[in-house]
């Protein structure tokens, strides 16, 4: 029987795992899903705690904390929804060596935020972009350096030159 004959489906046999299934990490399971849901909910709660002191204002006159509060509330609700569905979710991946790339991405963003006020945005943005392109995206050094320089120049021209946004910058 050939693939073009009636009665035969193209692709793997019914019930067979996809070809790339052997390269995927195992499913997270209920405990991993619950931990991830708790982390999302904790992030939302931290955002709520940080936005309330800024003032919430009203619908007619929102204050500085209004949008952070609303977004943080939504994140908290999503974390709770994830926790409720932790046992039923099957598409989440278990933590593996690939998870360290996410940790690196988060740590690099924290570093970016920590130094931008001290040295301006140009150098941290260049380093962040190079790191993400080269180490997370696995691009070549040439592409990473040229693209990162272009990104920083474009951001500088748009935000500092055209829009006059008061962000820390060197030049």
125-159: pLDDT as tens digits: 999 999 999 999 999 999 999 999 999 999 999 99
Same domain for 70 and 104?
no
pLDDT band at residue 18 using 50, 70 and 90 as cut-offs: low
Distance (Å, whole) CA 148 – CA 171: 17
Provide the pLDDT for residue 14: 54
The tokens 């991405």 sit on which residue?
105
Q: Model-level pTM?
A: 0.58
The token pair that represents 17 in the structure block: 């795992």
Residues 88-127: tens digit of each pLDDT: 877 777 777 777 888 899 999 999 999 998 999 999 999 9
Same domain for 112 and 89?
no
Find the radius of gyration of the CA atoms of the chain.
Answer: 23
Same domain for 86 and 105?
no
Residues of the domain holding 131: 97-171
Instruction: Judge whether 17 lies within some domain.
Output: no
Of the residues 66, 96, 126, the one at which a domain ends: 96
Average pLDDT, stretch 62-67?
91
Provide the pLDDT for residue 100: 85
Provide the pLDDT for residue 116: 92
The tokens 């996410």 sit on which residue?
102
Same domain for 71 and 89?
yes
For residue 93, what are the β-bridge partners? 27
Same domain for 85 and 118?
no
Same domain for 90 and 110?
no
Short-list 76, 126, 132, CA closest to 107: 132
Same domain for 124 and 62?
no
Looking at the structure of the chain, the number of domains it has is: 2
Same domain for 105 and 57?
no
Same domain for 47 and 110?
no
Provide the pLDDT for residue 99: 77
Instruction: Judge whether 16 lies within some domain.
Output: no
Provide the pLDDT for residue 12: 52
């Amino acid at each position: 029987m050939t693939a073009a004959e009636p009665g035969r489906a193209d692709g793997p046999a019914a019930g067979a795992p996809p070809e790339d299934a052997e390269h995927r990490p195992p499913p997270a399971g209920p405990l991993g899903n619950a931990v991830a849901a708790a982390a999302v909910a904790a992030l939302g709660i931290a955002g709520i705690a940080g936005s309330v002191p800024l003032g919430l204002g009203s619908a007619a006159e929102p204050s500085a904390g209004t949008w952070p509060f609303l977004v943080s509330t939504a994140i908290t609700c999503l974390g709770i929804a994830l926790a409720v569905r932790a046992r039923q979710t099957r598409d989440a991946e278990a933590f593996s060596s690939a998870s360290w790339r996410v940790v690196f991405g988060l740590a690099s963003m924290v570093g970016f935020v920590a130094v931008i006020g001290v040295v301006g945005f140009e150098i941290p943005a260049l380093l962040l972009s190079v790191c993400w392109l080269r180490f997370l995206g696995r691009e070549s050094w040439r592409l990473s350096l040229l693209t990162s320089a272009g990104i920083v120049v474009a951001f500088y021209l748009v935000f500092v030159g055209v829009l006059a946004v008061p962000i820390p910058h060197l030049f």
